[in-house]
Amino acid sequence: MNAKTKALSQEARRLSPEERIALIEDLQRSLVPADPEIDRAWAEEARDRLNAYRRGEIEAITLEEVIASLTKR
């Protein structure tokens, strides 16, 4: 990693977890062109999960819980 990249990385680490996720998603989109079929599949999956949650078939966990579980790894 060059000095500029290291500086950007350090600056990004000062962002909130939510802001870092948004940044990662934005950078990923800049590398991989959008695929409408994949976007459609993810939207369908999200709808299915939301409907399952509303029916009481699955429980939600907070972003903080997700981050805490990943941090423990």
pTM to 2 decimal places: 0.50
pLDDT tens readout for residues 48-58 = 999 999 999 99
Question: Which ranges of the chain does DSSP label H, i.e. alpha helix?
Answer: 3-13, 17-31, 36-54, 63-72
Residue 60, helix vs strand vs coil = coil
Q: pLDDT tens, 11-69?
A: 999 999 999 999 999 999 899 888 899 999 999 999 999 999 999 999 999 999 999 99
What pLDDT is recorded for position 33?
81
Taking the chain, what is the end-to-end CA distance rounded to the nearest angstrom?
A: 25
All residues at 6 or more sequence positions from 5 whose CB lies less than 8 Å from its CB, including other chains: none
Going from the C-alpha of 39 to that of each of 21, 46, 51, 52, the distances in angstroms are 18, 11, 18, 20
